[in-house]
Structure 1
């Protein structure tokens, strides 16, 4: 069974947590080691469209995932980020929370992480062919498949994280 993420399908091998209403996945080109995403199972475009039970499950899953990636990747802090709508930088029409384990000195200027997230392209973590309708910025050539992690690397990372949730 694949997971729907906006117009994309995600292979189960890169999903490391599935709750009743949410799932968490690794990606091909993380901003920092351990940068993962937590998403509702139901493809909902905007945060205000989530039902209260989905909001609760999404943030409970996000809290659990944050605890795990901070420990697993030897972080000392976490950054949580959500772009909600196109003007906020959302490139996939499906609510999702970025979870990034942080360490002292991981960026020269601490808030540079937000600049990196603005430039983060969804195709960095697609795992199956996309349904057509790419946005213009999803076609940039500098983010070529040659710079992505392999599916094997991502599956290994997901397997290592999955252990924490069993």
Structure 2
């Protein structure tokens, strides 16, 4: 069975700049960072998506994310921090990973819209009605 890059890092087959390690979670610097201080927070086990994470592992990831957020803010003093987590075809590692990266005014990081344009609240409410968990 093929291992993921994260498993290879956890098992020492690939070197990484690790900033946190427990039995459940590992966090390390991204090798192709958006900005200095760009980190990946991952479960040690090869869960592929957010939906695969057991609650206790997800809780540990969120706890570590908050700790590292504070440290990155103190050390790099960015204007803010972004988190991104990709699933499905957009998870190039096939191993769950949460990106944490410092952001600075003018850093040119961003995303582009698909071109839908600004929509009315009425249209948006109709579009998302099937997603509602509770009646609003």
TM-score scaled by structure 2?
0.69
SS of structure 2 residue aligned to 1:71: helix
Larger-Rg structure: 2
Structure 2 gap ranges (5+):
113-136
Q: Secondary structure at the match of 2:110?
A: helix
CA deviations on 1:58-102 (whole Å, 9 max, x unpaired) are 11111111111122112121100000111xx21011100000111
Residue in structure 2 matched with residue 103 of structure 1 by the alignment: 104
Question: Could you report, residue by residue, the CA deviation over 1:25-67 in whole angstroms, capped at 9, with x for unpaired residues?
Answer: 0122211111110001111011111111001001111111111
Distance in 1 (alpha carbons) for counterparts of 2:30 and 2:100? 11
The DSSP-based 3-state class of the residue aligned with 1:17 is: strand
TM-score (norm 1): 0.57
Q: How many aligned residue pairs are there? A: 105
CA RMSD of aligned residues (A): 1.9
The answer to which structure has the higher helix fraction is 1
Higher relative contact order at CA 8 Å, sep ≥6: structure 1 or structure 2?
A: 1
Structure 1, gaps ≥5 residues long: 116-166
Ranges of 4+ aligned residues in structure 1 off by more than 4 Å: none
